[in-house]
Amino acid sequence: MSVIRTVFLGTPFIAKECLKALVEDEHFEVVGVVSQPDRPAGRKMQLKASEVSAYALEHKLPLIRPEKADGEEFIQSIKKWGAECVVVVAYGQILRKDFLDMFPQKVVNVHASLLPRWRGAAPIQRAMMAGDQETGVCLQVMTESLDAGAVLGARKMIIQDAMNAIDLHNAMIPLAQDLLTVDFMDYMRGNLSPTPQEESLVTYAKKIKKSESQMDWSLPNREIFNRQRGLMMGPGATTVFRGKPIKIHRMELVNDLSLKAAPGVIVDVNKSDFTVQCGEGQLKILELQPASKACQTSAQFLLGHKIAKGEVFGE
């Protein structure tokens, strides 16, 4: 049986891992790669290739990095590769109808949610921030409408309390790889039919705004806990202590009915950590990052800051 000639579009680490899975699978031949142009990165703001671009260059795969995925030059570059299908993973640009029409029903996208829940830009973060107990990865046939295509397959996973959004993202990688090497191959061989999404169940994962990073200690501890974990992919969850901003990196739920104080008040301090009152329950702070400093444990922070019960987070 002939190999499946595939064009791959993607940019970040998860996309690179999916590209790697296709390159290493004997049923696929990646005949071309499209990624975002090199962007300034790091303190010196030097141009840096995307994860996908770096992998393509290392493995001598044909690569283009257009500013915009449209126009005649872009279309001709795709056509000359002679592909029969396209795989898109976190590419970062909208694909126009004329591109999709080149490969009818053969442009597929890996999406980090169980569609139709959490269509849009931030499905991992929104699932965690909403307190979802389950999420997963879908493979969908791309249409002009955002994340609205019929679903070819899905892999489910539990969102554990010990996970933040970065952990969840990384745990999705093998699920995405499996969808491509199993379900997508079956689809291209004619052994799998797509299932339309149920429109009545659609929810949207809007892009995270910087204004969402500010922590509100008047909320229940579980809600704050979920939001902080979801924001770990950026911009982070920020509060104020002694007039200076601090990012919270890791917390633990506490439900001590004997502790009574206003939201934001520190109700317990020991050598290794401290506990903050919420609108309901408390949160034990385990890791944090003062402004212009690296992330540190609460024990490290307490060595340099004498914190007393009754002090307030958020002021």
Architecture of domain 210-304: Roll (3.10)
**Do residues 237 and 213 make contact, with C-beta atoms less than 8 angstroms apart?**
yes
* Residue 137 to residue 281: CA distance in whole angstroms: 33
Is there a common fold for 4-205 and 210-304? no
pLDDT, one tens digit per residue, over 197-249 is 999 999 999 999 999 999 999 999 999 999 999 999 999 999 999 999 999 99
pTM (two decimals): 0.94
Question: How many residues comprise the chain?
Answer: 315
Tell which phi-psi region holds residue 170, choosing left (phi > 0), alpha (psi between -120 and 50) or beta: alpha
Helix (H) or strand (E) holding 237: strand 237-241
* Extents of the domains making up the chain: 4-205, 210-304
Q: What is the pLDDT of residue 26?
A: 97
Q: What is the pLDDT of residue 271?
A: 94
Q: What is the pLDDT of residue 8?
A: 99
Q: What is the pLDDT of residue 42?
A: 81
CATH number of 4-205: 3.40.50.170
Residue spans of the chain under pLDDT 70? none
Q: What is the pLDDT of residue 140?
A: 99
Q: What is the pLDDT of residue 46?
A: 86
